[in-house]
Amino acid sequence: MIKIWGRPTSICTQRALWGLVEAGQPFELTLASATMGPNGHVSKGNVPYGIVDTPAYRAMNPNSTVPTIDDDGFVLWESIAILTYLAGRYAPEKLYGSDPRKLARATQWMLWTGEYLLEPLHVLVMELARLPEAQRNPANVEKARLAVLKPLAVLEEHLGKQPFVAGDAFTLGDIPVACDVQRWLHFDLKRPPMPNITSWQRRLGVRDGFKRYVAPKEHHLAG
């Protein structure tokens, strides 16, 4: 059984958990975090899950971040690397059609979402959910909102040409992008209509991993 350390309120952990479901692999999740705990974020005085700052964990992941997996002694961190590993070892046909070009397309979009969406989404979740209200700054929210809209326009145009990010079929490339977009949608901030993204999210919404680990609002707006 694959061991994974992380927390369901982490987008990066959500990616790995969804990937494990798609790969059909049983797993054991250990809650771990330096910033979040059972009662919320440390900025509000809450106690984190911890573990990530222990010598044993740092021996696996020197960054003290989540997620990390251990697959029968093979230890790996960084969610994109984890998804690529799970797909290649356990579900190459399902998750990229055993086609290196499709894998490259999927990887392109996985890297894209990390480059353009992850940072402003982190600002938004801190400002809208995790920081104490006295520490929040509406200007930061507006700046991050505008920063998200530009790449989403790129995605909207792209999904008008094909049903999934890497082509006609679902791939691992859809997973990180969908996790980020789902968080954005839960913020319910002002945005133009994006029917192609809405249709794409609806197609993904039937998948078990999405329903279990990405769709729940509490996985995105926990404070």
pLDDT digits (tens, 9 = 90+) for 27-47: 999 999 999 999 999 999 999
Does 98-213 match 2-93 at the fold level? no
DSSP state letters, 22-52: HHT--EEEEE-BSSEETTEEGGGTPPP-B-T
Instruction: pLDDT band for 223, please (50, 70, 90 cuts).
Output: confident
**CATH class for domain 98-213?**
mainly alpha
pTM for the whole structure: 0.97
Give whole-number Cα distances, 23 to 57, 85, 130, in Å. 25, 10, 32
Residue-range domain boundaries for the chain: 2-93, 98-213
Mean pLDDT, range 162-171, rounded to an integer: 98
Query: What digits encode the pLDDT tens for the residues 60-96?
Result: 999 999 999 999 999 999 999 999 999 999 999 999 9
pLDDT of res. 204: 98
Mean pLDDT, range 192-217, rounded to an integer: 97
Give whole-number Cα distances, 172 to 44, 46, 131, 153, 186, in Å. 35, 34, 32, 21, 22
Instruction: pLDDT band for 115, please (50, 70, 90 cuts).
Output: very high
pLDDT of res. 60: 98
Neighbours of 192 (CB within 10 A): 8
Instruction: pLDDT band for 140, please (50, 70, 90 cuts).
Output: very high
CATH number 3.40.50.300 is the correct assignment for the domain at 2-93: no
